[in-house]
Amino acid sequence: MKYFILGYLILIALLANTLFQDKELAESMERGKEIYADFCVTCHLENGEGVLNTFPPLAKSDYLAKNRESSIRGVKYGQRGEMTVNGVVYNNTMMPMGLEDEEIADVLNFVMNSWGNQQDKPVTPQEVSEIGPR
């Protein structure tokens, strides 16, 4: 009986924790959606589709899915030079937009969980703060 109650309490705690994290992510994405509309949509477009050969797509981007740290770094410090996204080579420049670490986390949480993208681990401001220039 004692173990049953203990097990039950642990289950409740785990469930509450999951629900809390889901809510945190949902709120971060909500803020990120606005940042996207203000800072990113001009190049990466409404549904993250980008412009072939000029602005790489964010929707279903293999680069974004596989290069978490470089993606964060690119938004934080800017990104230039050759990069391959979904088999297409881009060699262009994205200037840094002067966003706060929290805004970078929010916009990436939105991008990483929209248009068919899914990222299990949310980006936190702490994680962004720890990434330096290349």
Instruction: Tell me which of 71, 113, 123, 128 binds ligand HEC, using CB under 6 A.
Output: 71
Which residue do the tokens 């670490």 mark?
101
Amino acid symbol at 102: E
Instruction: Return d(Cα 71, Cα 2) in angstroms, integer.
Output: 48
Ranges within 14-43 binding ligand HEC (CB under 6 A): 39-40, 42-43
Count of residues engaged in binding ligand HEC, rule: CB under 6 A: 28
Question: In terms of Cα–Cα distance, which of 70, 61, 73 is closest to 111?
Answer: 61
Nearer to ligand HEC, 22 or 62 (CB): 62
- Options 33, 49, 68, 97; binder of ligand HEC; rule CB under 6 A: 97
Q: What is the rounded CA–CA span in Å between residue 104 and residue 10?
A: 34
Q: How far is the CB of 58 from ligand HEC (least distance, A)?
A: 5
